[in-house]
Structure 1
Amino acid sequence: MRQVNPSRLTGPPMRLRLGGELLPMVGHVRMYVCGITPYDVTHLGHAATYVWADAAERVLQWHGHTVTVARNVTDVDDVLFAEARRRGESATMLATLQRASFEATMATLQVRTPDLAPSAAQHIGHVIQLAAALLDRDAAYERNGTVYARTAHAAAQAGLDQASALQRAEEYHDNPGDPDKDDPLDIAVWQAAGSDDDVSWPSPWGEGRPGWHAECAAMVLALFGSSVDIHCGGGDLAYPHHACEAALAEAVTGVTPFARAWMRAGIVSVDGAKMAKSTGNLVLVEDLLREHSPGAVRLLLLNRPWGRAWEYDPSALDDAEALLERLYGAASSPGLAPGAAAVPAALLDDLDVSRAVAIALEDGGQAARTLIEILALS
């Protein structure tokens, strides 16, 4: 857990507003960040999620909170297994190498190492416990070695109609056409191993492996108990992943809400298409860092509303580099006293980095230095 400066606790209380809602907190803040599936290199869309989560942690710590951050690694996943088979290597080796590469990139971007770094493979037993608990609650049923959770209600809670939810379920490989399901929007908490599967674990229902949504639910419950204060992830994970994850946890514990606030970084697009390996439009962070400073990449990602989707333009990095130089210049000036307090206040207001940058440039001096320090732009 990050230690705080006690002197920051003696002034008037400061409250974070996130997603337009006040999020009062006392002392300890529990933050869970949906991590990578370690089968490929880190692109700008990944980085946006983790830089924003890091910024939120730093703002909270600046204002006297102790923050515990857990960022998982999804190292049990069909996409990872398929990529390992394609490369002719073990899934464990591929995951280890890609995880090391990701962590090195995060360190270069000054994203702090999380306090807790659970992996799905380490929490197989907790997924089995989750499945058993859901069965005990009659919130799940077992068919042919697969345990399905009753999650059809999660789509409506996420604001989706049936057709949209089915489309998303298909896109995220939740297999809505599975004939063993009571409802096509139910999800597999534990899925039975197929005849050609090479990765599985024993369970009370036979050999199999966890479902993706159940992995995150089990890790949060195991690490933090029944709920978290802030749950971070990409903007594309709202449904089915986050909605079903929350539905599983709430069905077991009876505690709502599972997450007091959701912080989903806006989707990054290139030429109008979401940045993704499947579309072939990846902008790799390691490529950007060959020509631009880590501070400029961070500023590019942060100098916008955190939840808004945006289009990447290579010229924007040059603009971010120039803006960073202006901030450094402002930091070296005498400055105006009011800005030193106005910058942290702006960051508490829904992490309004753009307003904080404008204040820092106008007031200079300590205001600019404070902004650079809080957002790790040095």
Structure 2
Amino acid sequence: MRGVNPTLLTGPPMRLRLGAHVLPMVGRVRMYVCGITPYDVTHLGHAATYIWADAAERVLRWHGHTVTVARNVTDVDDVLFAEARRRGESHTMLATLQRASFENTMATLQVRPPDLAPSAAQHIGHVVQLAAALLDRDAAYERNGTVYARTAHAAAQAGFTHDLALERAAEFHDSPDDPDKDDPLDVVVWRASKPDDDVSWPSPWGDGRPGWHAECTAMVLALFGPSVDIHCGGADLAFPHHACEAALAEAATGVTPFARSWLRAGLVSIGGAKMAKSSGNLVLVEDLLREHSPGAVRLLCLNRPWAQGWTYEPAALDAAEATLQELYAAAARPGMAPGAAAVPAALLDDLDVARAVAVALEDGGQAARTLIELLALS
């Protein structure tokens, strides 16, 4: 049987578990990763999300799956446009430079480049198609050149109370107080241009630009069809972004679920607040890499439950560096310990890196070498 790995036929079934979801996979695995808005440098909170997505991809590839990863770039966004104006640059130049910087940081951290790297600006036409499909299915309505989707149900489906959903919608600039909306929790699919807008595209409803949630929905549908196997992003994106993204796709296509599973990496905090530029409490990856190895930064992010939020402290990175050196020493020990099989098994079980590290340190030899190779800790 040419081209078939016999161990995939004779060994036990290999299924990835993510949280409560066990995911039998056949052939190609479709993974979508919410990417950056390219207006500033990469901080540790960004890196943790992409390192976890990379780890999941590597585990699946290790077990014989073909994984197609799409990681988008949100290069149509008010934050990007505002930063470009502040710097006196074109938004396309700013996005190009910041994207290059981000990709260089990812390469240093040994995050595999995505197979597909769509940008919102490349998919304007698909957003227009999405808006038209939603209107055809009475899942959207048009007011004054803006197309709104009926997404009020998405909050409850995501486990958010109405009041909390309104708070999060305001936080993510979804304008719940917009008087043209039928419901405050409806979201914009296509936003009509304002007099002071300097970036817009034509549409059947007039000049305008996409809504944020619609951008990701349109990119997923264009690249993968109506569903994906694993959708990755930060935990803070659960609502409104991921919930509305799924609601738009499911309303437009009639296919459910939009995502078979969600890998939302726990948020990184510092000083008691989520790491974010708006909080002014960033830890930049380029600063960490001046004194620590890429493997240590990866291990710092990975050696914990993937959905768990955590607080960055410099001592934790020092500890990760020390653990990494212990793994290297363990890998130098001879022998084919039983733990060599236990390491990938632990990673299939909800990406349990902590258990895999414990096995590798105890058994050493091939177990430690397997862990280092599988998680790109060298």
Alignment TM-score > 0.5, same fold: yes
Within 5 A, what are the aligned runs for 1:261-340?
Answer: 261-335=261-335, 337-340=337-340
Post-superposition offset of 1:13: 1.8
Amino acid at match of 2:290: R
Matched length = 375
Question: Matches of 1:221 and 1:23 in 2, distance apart?
Answer: 21
Matched with 2:37 is 37
Match of 2:205 in 1: 205
SS in 1 for 2:190: strand
In the alignment, which residue of structure 1 is the partner of 2:181? Answer: 181
| Corresponding residue SS for 1:345 | helix
- What is the distance in 1 between the residues matched to 2:90 and 2:7? 49
Q: Where do 1:64-213 residues align within 5 Å?
A: 64-213=64-213
- Shift in Å, 1:21: 2.1
Superposition map of 1:224-239 within 5 A: 224-239=224-239
Cα distance in structure 2, aligned partners of 1:47 and 1:314: 16
Per-residue deviation, residues 156-190 of structure 1 (Å, max 9, x unmatched) = 00111111000000000000000000000000000
- Cα-to-partner distance string for 1:56-111 (whole Å, 9 max, x where unaligned): 00000101111000000000000000000011100000000000000000000000
CA offset at residue 367 of structure 1? 0.1
- Are the equivalent residues in 1 in contact too, given 2:134–2:252 (CA < 8 A)? yes
Greater mean alpha carbon deviation, residues 22-31 or residues 222-231: 22-31
Q: Give the SS at the match of 1:229.
A: strand
Unaligned runs of at least 5 residues, structure 1? none
Judge conservation of contact 1:221–1:249 (CA < 8 Å) in 2. yes
**What SS does structure 2 have at the residue aligned with 1:67?**
strand
In the TM superposition, what whole-angstrom CA distance separates every residue of 1:197-223 from its partner, at most 9, and x where no partner exists? 000000000000000000000000000
Cross-structure match for 2:5: 6
Partner of 2:243 in structure 1? 243
* 1:8–1:62 contact (8 Å) kept in structure 2: no
Structure 1 residue 335 displacement after superposition: 4.0
Q: Partner letter of residue 83 of structure 2?
A: E
Q: Distance in 1 between matches of 2:4 and 2:275?
A: 39
**In structure 2, do the counterparts of structure 1 residues 8 and 69 end up closer, same or farther at CA, with 3 Å as the change threshold?**
farther
Aligned counterparts of 1:190 and 1:20: Cα–Cα separation in 2: 35
The residue number in structure 2 matching 1:354 is 354
After superposition, the C-alpha distances for 1:140-165 in whole angstroms (9 at most, x for unaligned) are: 00000000000000000011111100
Work out the CA distance in 2 between the residues paired with 1:80 and 1:276: 15
What are the superposed Cα offsets for residues 319-376 of structure 1, whole Å, 9 maximum, x if unpaired? 0110000000000002452101000000000000000000000000000000000000
Is the CA contact (8 Å cut-off) linking 2:168 and 2:239 kept in structure 1? yes
Q: Is the 8 A contact 2:337 2:364 kept in 1?
A: no
Gaps of 5+ in 2: none
Q: Distance in 2 between matches of 1:225 and 1:19?
A: 24
- State the percentage of identical aligned residues: 83
CA distance in 2 between partners of 1:306 and 1:12 (Å): 25
Q: For residue 138 of structure 2, give the secondary structure of its aligned residue in structure 1.
A: coil
Q: Kindly indicate whether residue 15 of structure 2 is the aligned counterpart of residue 20 of structure 1.
A: no
Query: Who is 2:58 aligned against?
Result: 58
Counterparts of 1:36 and 1:6, CA distance in 2: 37
Structure 1 residues 71, 314: closer, same or farther in 2, change over 3 A? same
Deviation at 1:5, TM superposition (A): 8.2
* Cα displacement (A) at 1:14: 1.1
Change (3 A) 1:181 1:367: same
Specify the SS of the correspondent of 2:289: helix
What TM-score does the superposition give when structure 1 sets the normalisation length? 0.98
Structure 2: distance between partners of 1:373 and 1:183? 50
- Report the alpha carbon displacement of residue 7 of structure 1 after superposing the two structures with TM: 4.9
TM-score norm. by structure 2 comes to 0.98
Contact kept? 1:235, 1:307, Cα under 8 Å: yes
Are residues 8 and 45 of structure 1, via their aligned partners in 2, closer, same or farther at CA, if it must alter by over 3 Å?
Answer: farther
Task: Return the alpha-carbon distance in structure 2 between the equivalents of residues 288 and 166 of structure 1.
Answer: 37
Q: Partners in 2 of 1:288 and 1:312 — Cα distance?
A: 12
Q: Write the distance in 2 (CA, Å) between the matches of 1:22 and 1:332.
A: 35
Q: Is 1:46 equivalent to 2:36 in the alignment?
A: no
User: How much has 1:27 moved relative to structure 2?
Assistant: 1.5
Q: Is the 8 A contact 1:230 1:259 kept in 2?
A: yes
- Which amino acid letter does the alignment assign opposite residue 96 of structure 2? T
Residue 168 of structure 2 aligns with an amino acid whose one-letter code is: R
